[in-house]
Copies of this chain bind each other. A is one copy, B any other.
Amino acid sequence: MGDLIKGKDVANVITQEVKEAAEKIKQKGINPKLMIVRVGEREDDLAYERAALKRMESCNILCEVLKLPIDISQENFILALKKVNDDESVHGILLFRPLPKQINEDDVKFIIRPEKDIDCFNPINAAKVYEGDETGFPPCTPLAAMEILKYNKVNLKGSNSVVLGRSMVVGKPMAMLLLKEDATVTVCHSKTKNLSDVTRNADILIAAVGKSQMVDGNFVKDGAVVIDVGINVDEEGTMTGDVKTDECIDKASLITPVPGGVGSVTTAILAKHVIKACKLLNKQEGVL
């Protein structure tokens, strides 16, 4: 039976580091600040917003929410986003997506300047993840998974890592981050044949498909590390991951739960990114 890896421990370590970094920056007269841009009142966004506000408070990072109406025109949305982008007191911008239909993401994705784009909306940051250039901002969720692996000293180099899912938010950046650490990486998806045969070869299995408890014991090799990135909420509000944790823990050496796994680390990564952005922006202007 393997160990259940709680995200909280990792989040606490990062929070402490970020808090100290924030203090140092403040001593130079700069106040690190995150601006969350939310269009409408989607429940997912509100939940993440509450968690982010709490984390920023723990890290001594300022955080403000710009609330925009769900029926905002693209023109007004662009004006609002540009204003935040130009605001020198704001270092990191988190824009909740998907945006409402009247706003074309292709028309707005280049607006947030790369140095403030802490959740990888701008293609310039996506390209950096793809290239393995660490000056950018990979999306917070796959980076949270990486931090959990590193905290637990999981050997990535030469490992057989299998990523289930190929989204731009988790699957693809996860594959790129693992590749950068010299893992041999396989990306699986809905069209993969004999899926459990493929995943059963994995030393490290990352589940990011968004199908509740799809990964059962049959998918997991003895001793594998299983990271569950899925967040699935049923009609009664119960949250489950993509993995049958109870079943897979018998085979895995390490496994993350849902809730309480990767999800509890993402806001800590967000805070870390605000500090990184703050340093990038100010170094450019010769302050830090």
Contacts and interface: CB of A to CB of B under 8 A. Distances in A.
Chain A's interface size range is: 20 to 34
Given A123-B124, A127-B123, A189 B182 contact: yes
Please classify the interface of chain A as helix (H, G, I), strand (E, B), loop, or mixed, using the class held by over half of its residues. mixed
A125 B34 CA distance: 29
A130 interface: yes
A128 interface: yes
Contacts of A160: 193, 198
A136 B157 CA distance: 32
Nearest to A203: B193
Contacts of A124: 123-124, 127
A62 to B, nearest CB: 30
Contact of A158 (B129, B168, B186, B192): B192
Nearest to A124: B123
Contacts of A184: 186-189, 191-193, 198
A206 to B, nearest CB: 14
Given A130-B130, A130-B172, A158 B193 contact: yes
A185 interface: yes
A71 interface: no
Interface in A147-165: 157-158, 160
A254 interface: no
Interface in A123-181: 123-124, 126-131, 157-158, 160, 166, 168, 172, 175, 179
Nearest to A191: B182
Interface string A186-209: 111101110000100000000000
Interface in A239-275: none
25 contacts: A123-B127, A123-B128, A124-B127, A126-B130, A126-B131, A127-B127, A127-B130, A130-B130, A131-B168, A158-B192, A158-B193, A160-B198, A166-B179, A175-B187, A179-B189, A182-B189, A182-B191, A184-B186, A184-B187, A184-B188, A184-B189, A184-B191, A185-B186, A186-B186, A186-B187
